[in-house]
Amino acid sequence: MATQDELKQQVAKAAIEYVKGGIIGVGTGSTANFFIDELAKVKDRIDGAVASSEATAQRLRGHGIKVFDLNDVDGMEIYVDGADEITEKLHMLKGGGGALTREKIVAACAKDFICICDQTKLVPVLGKFPLPVEVIPMAREYVARELVKLGGQPKLRDFTTDNGNVILDVHGLTITDPVALESRINEIVGVVTNGLFASRPANVLLLATADGVKTLT
Ligand code: ABF
């Protein structure tokens, strides 16, 4: 039976079919890293990439792939990234790697979000994985109190984001309406971004299973 890493590699390979040229938006995390390694094999097909984190930029450059500043790019056809959880409606919970804000910004600039996951990430309801919320440091305690009012148990992560902010991981949520919760959390003053990617879900989910890579749209 394939290991989780082998499944991630299979799905990363499958995503290359969506790489037609131009500039590719690239996510963060171990599945995205496998995608970067596959992208390197077809790098002559593309002009370059926009990275969703410093770690991704470094890996792309290590493969000789040109990294563009998002402000110098006039949109992208695709953004390829993993997720911590995803539903059949293609609503995602992301940010376990701490790059959620840049991921959401780069994804917003792409026509299609291609989500690449192994089968363990597909869930009926989001929230078992703690929901990351990026917060301006001085607002940390205020935002934490507001998140408790929403029924969550926020825990400060020992981590500073690429944007110099902190992350509260919110435990104990059962997210039955991810679109509403995404916008409710964004209304809390001091919140930069939350890890729900629901108002703009993925366009395509490539899911690696024991029976091969399945495509959900
Ligand atoms: C990024 O990578 C994040 O939003 C998510 O937290 C994580 C998934 O990581 P992995 O592919 O390592 O499971 O997409």
211 CA distance to ligand 1 centroid (A)? 22
Q: Whose CA is nearest to atom 14 of ligand 1?
A: 82
The pTM assigned to this predicted structure is 0.94
150 CA distance to ligand 1 centroid (A)? 25
Residue 160 predicted with pLDDT over 90: yes
Residue 47 predicted with pLDDT over 90: yes
17, 54, 85, 103: the catalytic one is 103
Q: What is the 3-state secondary structure (H, E, C) of the chain?
A: CCCHHHHHHHHHHHHHHHCCCCEEEECCCHHHHHHHHHHHHCHHHCCEEEECCHHHHHHHHHCCCCECCHHHCCCEEEEEECCCEECCCCCEECCCCCCHHHHHHHHHCEEEEEEEEEHHHECCCECCCCEEEEECHHHHHHHHHHHHHCCCEEEECCCCCCCCCEEEEEECCCECCHHHHHHHHHCCCCEEEECEECCCCCCEEEEEECCEEEEEC
Q: Average pLDDT in the 95-116 region?
A: 96
In ligand 1, the atom with minimum distance to the C-alpha of 117 is: 11
Q: Whose CA is nearest to atom 9 of ligand 1?
A: 29
pLDDT, position 8:
94
Residue of 5, 8, 26, 28 to test ligand 1 pocket, by largest number of atoms within 8 Å of CB? 28
What ipTM score was computed for the predicted complex, to two decimals?
0.95
